[in-house]
Amino acid sequence: MNKMSINNSLSAITIALCSVYSVSTFSANKSFPFYATQLKAGERFYAPKHAQGSQGKGFDISMLKKRSNGRWYFNKPGTSGSRNSHSVIYAKKFYAISDGIVFRCWRNAPQNPRPGSYHPQNGLRIPGGGNMVWVKQSDGTNVLYAHAIPGTIPSSVCPLNARLYSAKGRTYEANVPKVQQVKIRKGQFLGRVGNSGNSGGTHLHVHIQKRSNNAPVPIRWSGGLATRGSRQGARFTVNLNRKWYNLTGKTIPVNRSIIWPPFKTVGSLTRNNIRIRDFRRFFDHAASSGFYPVKLKGYVRNGELHYDSKWLPANQPWLSWYGISKTARNSRVSYASSKGFRKIYEWFTTVNGTRLYSLIFVK
């Protein structure tokens, strides 16, 4: 790679998180019900907008997997989609998006026999959400998680063990007696994705509605990235090198339904040997997950700039730049100092005779 092509591939990245953002926003917004660590190579989540009514701001979340032809599909390679287990998302664990109290649930309803075919008791003695969890939140809203595999919602979350309502229409049997209602925490395991209840195929349904009038409520996420995908029937075209949209404090846009969820913000995050062409996307992903960098080591390998990085959970304001010139470096140091930040890391590597710097500051 020549000097011009290397330099044209570099852009200074500026990330500034204030304490309000890194603490309050991350706790107030909803955590995506899946984590990046659940993805294998060539997989992403798919979260299109749901129908209207009380569920109108919710999502039916599934997964896509890239195949050898370069297209992305809902089903696992070598399968026809005729079984629930053929879906890429089948049996994936899902987690609570927020704290709350479980006031309604079901956990042992039989699944639909296959995608597009319904159990004969659907709408009669099986809840519309199938194996589901309704959670009362402190802000006057309720959130629904629906269509889990039977038996995977823990009994510690849902104490109701019947397979079916005792008779047609007895929906009240899914109400949890007040003395048995339990509090759940954001990030708590709630079940595994299946195809139970009023579901045309394997997916996790999640939506929020007001308790007072059932009006739909937008879900604003605490992190993660989203991008576009072009659908052609059962297959998708997805370009991972396309610009990704930061979901922090925002809902998923209608036209950006391919989701890279956050990492779980526990312990440290280390990623090495990432090419510059991929590093900006990773940098944005780690930052949107609630981490801050403590190492940004650049070096040239096989004629291309690479980065090694280490990240920790962000509990303070921070600033970081990488791939910047010496002039830009001096300017950024002055700027950070003027704002009360202190430098905790600096690195440079030489590319075609030009020094490129990495800087990290905290307050």
Distance CA(48)–CA(56), nearest Å, equals: 11
DSSP SS3 for 343: strand
Question: Residue 185 has what pLDDT?
Answer: 98
Per the structure block, which two tokens stand in for 362? Answer: 């905290």
Rg over alpha carbons for the chain, rounded to the nearest Å, is 23
Distance CA(124)–CA(149), nearest Å, equals: 19
Please give the helix or strand (H or E) that residue 278 lies within, else none: helix 276-288
Q: Which domains can be identified in the chain, with CATH numbers?
A: 3-22+262-362 (no CATH), 40-217 (2.70.70), 225-259 (no CATH)
**Per-residue tens of pLDDT for the chain, all 363 residues:** 222 223 333 333 333 333 323 333 445 699 999 999 999 999 999 998 776 788 889 999 999 999 999 999 999 999 999 999 999 999 999 999 999 999 999 999 999 999 999 999 999 999 999 999 999 999 999 999 999 999 999 999 999 999 999 999 999 999 999 999 999 999 999 999 999 999 999 999 999 999 999 999 999 999 999 999 999 888 899 998 888 999 999 999 988 899 999 999 888 999 999 999 999 999 999 999 999 999 999 999 998 999 999 999 998 899 999 999 999 999 999 999 999 999 999 999 999 999 999 999 999
End-to-end CA distance of the chain: give it in Å, rounded.
38
Distance CA(74)–CA(222), nearest Å, equals: 26
What's the angle, vertex CA 48, arms to CA 233 and CA 194, rounded to 5? Answer: 85
Per the structure block, which two tokens stand in for 19? Answer: 């304490």
Question: Residue 27 has what pLDDT?
Answer: 57
